[in-house]
Chain A
Amino acid sequence: MLRDITLGQYYPTDSIIHRLDPRVKLGGTILYILSLFFVKNILGYLVAALFLALVIRLSKVPFKFMIKGMKTILFLLLITVIFNLFLTQGTPIVTFFGKVSITYEGLKLAVFMAIRLTFLIIGSSVMTLTTTPNNLTDGMERMLRPLKVLRVPVHEVAMMMSIALRFIPILLEETDKIMKAQIARGADFESGNLLQRAKSMVPLLVPLFISAFRRANDLAMAMEARCYRGGDGRTKMKPLVYEQKDYLAYAALAVYLVISIGIG
């Protein structure tokens, strides 16, 4: 059923990576991705691969879940590789039809790009697989707090994200219900060409939007009734506090960065 869908791709298990502070994971992922673009030789990528493998091992998430994320970008990956392969200037290795040629530089760039993208996706998958969406929002709110000085509504955005996460399953269930109700009255969502099918979505979307607005209104009232008045003066039930393991993780990350920049 629709209500059983998991949001994001959180893989529930208990590991040291799961228990890390979300800020460590967020910061770590960003730094890791940056490091992938600094590295310029194969040895550097080897270090990056080893580091990633270690984190995956510690996270206790089966490797096939990491691969799942790859499927969505496979097409993008393919295009990037092909473009780099054929459109880079340099010393040609093979030439087709006397015009298109694969160069040595192009081959190198294509391979590196493929490695980069693969590591980038797997690296960020590790984060989303080991952190609940809620935790992630919390981490982002805390990390972006300095932006408040620039009047960026950090708390409000985080609150919106967590409310959206809470309501997505409810709205999905509602979509299902409305769809069935409309099918029962003879609506046809499946046949016809693309345009006809898009048109047939109208009787689904209109009630869905009305209901979403009504829910939003109710929720706003319920939040006000429970004294919600924005982020100021609010305490946290689950505040983010760095523990020893988080400092250790930062240390490990620093070691990795030094090594990868050193040899890359």
Chain B
Amino acid sequence: MEIVKAKDVVYEYIRRDEEGNIEGILKAVDGVSLDIRQGQFIAILGHNGSGKSTLAKHMNAILYPTEGTVWVDGKDTKDEEELWNIRQTAGMVFQNPDNQIIGQVVEEDVGFGPENMGVPTKEIWERVEESLKVLGMYKYRKHSPNKLSGGQKQRVSIAGVLAMHPKCIILDEPTAMLDPNGRKDVIRAVRALNDVEKITIILITHYMEETIYADKVFVMDDGKIAMQGTPREIFSQVDALKSLRLDVPQVTLLAYELKKRGVDLPDGILTIEELVKELSKCH
């Protein structure tokens, strides 16, 4: 069953001059169709301005397509009556952790979503406890979010979405403002949500390393889907990625360069372990 389905989606930003006349129309998303099945781990890659964040906001009914249709769990996002159901089904985590935490105490922030949904008080507490435990933030439940590190804040944000019991979580560049350690923690937490809780994950990012665990990768460029496939399929096309102004992971690049110089290696090596194994086979 498809949790998110998009058909020929177009989204136009209209630029106006000071008098309100239309200066130009920018197609941020241009004819995108995709199907995401329940339980998948999807990564959407692209450089700045490729339309990936705009596309993500369609999956949570924050933006509506100018043309085409987006369905979340079978519901058309333009259907106003289903708006809150859609937002509950597809939770969204944003880039800046400071700008999405509402509560002054960690546990209050995690409870914000369920409060809005009208969940009874006792169940809110159960959900908050459960979500914080899944994200490994339970011991910080009484802390002020201002005193947490970026990675911890972002895990609180994810817990806040998880407490709404979504089927799907969309993460819009959740690691862009974090240090490498915070980034690792967040990605580990996201993978666990997918593996253990079976929640569909849609990860928007421009860090290649974060996409290697995905079931499927979409590469966006200029509002269109330029490439799609498994991480291995995508990363074996080093030249194509470079032409889209994207860098492949260092290991993959190393393997690619070695292969070009005559070392017998398969395409699309994604991890250091893999490269070590393949290299030791060569001898």
**What is the interface of chain A, defined by CB distance below 8 A to chain B?**
3, 133-134, 162-163, 165-166, 169-170, 214-215, 218-219, 221-229, 233-239
Contact status A234-B84, CB under 8 Å: no
Question: What residue in chain B is nearest A134 (Cβ atoms)?
Answer: B104
Count the B residues whose beta carbon is within 8 Å of the partner chain — how many?
A: 39
- List B residues 136-164 near A (Cβ within 8 Å): 145-147, 160-161, 164
Given contacts A218-B99, A226-B160, A235-B118, list 11 more A-B pairs with CB under 8 A: A134-B104, A166-B103, A219-B99, A225-B91, A226-B113, A226-B116, A227-B84, A233-B118, A234-B116, A236-B115, A239-B121
Chain B residues, Cβ within 8 Å of A226: 87, 91, 112-113, 116, 160-161, 164
Closest residue of chain A to B98 (Cβ to Cβ) is: A170
**Which chain B residues border A3 with CB–CB below 8 Å?**
146-147
Which of B84, B91, B96, B108 is within 8 Å of A238, CB to CB? B108
In the complex, A225 Cα to B158 Cα: how many Å?
12
- Chain A residues with CB under 8 Å of B121's CB are 235-239
Residues of A within 8 A of B69 (CB): none
Tell me whether B268 is interfacial, beta carbon within 8 Å. Answer: no
In the assembled complex, 28 residue pairs joining A and B whose CB atoms fall closer than 8 Å, in A order, are A3-B146, A162-B104, A166-B103, A166-B104, A170-B98, A215-B96, A215-B98, A218-B99, A219-B99, A223-B102, A224-B87, A226-B91, A226-B113, A226-B161, A226-B164, A228-B112, A228-B116, A229-B84, A229-B116, A234-B115, A234-B118, A235-B114, A235-B115, A235-B118, A235-B120, A236-B115, A236-B121, A237-B107
Q: Are B105 and A134 touching (Cβ within 8 A)? A: yes
* B116 / chain A contacts, CB cutoff of 8 Å: 226-229, 234
Find A166's partner among B96, B102, B120 (CB 8 Å cutoff): B102
- Closest Cβ of chain B to A148, distance in Å, is 18
In the complex where A166-B103, A235-B115 touch, is A218 in contact with B94 (Cβ < 8 A)?
A: yes
Contact status of A219 and B108, CB under 8 A, knowing A169-B146, A233-B118: no
**Does B128 touch A at the CB level, under 8 Å?**
yes
Q: Is the CB of A219 within 8 A of B102?
A: yes
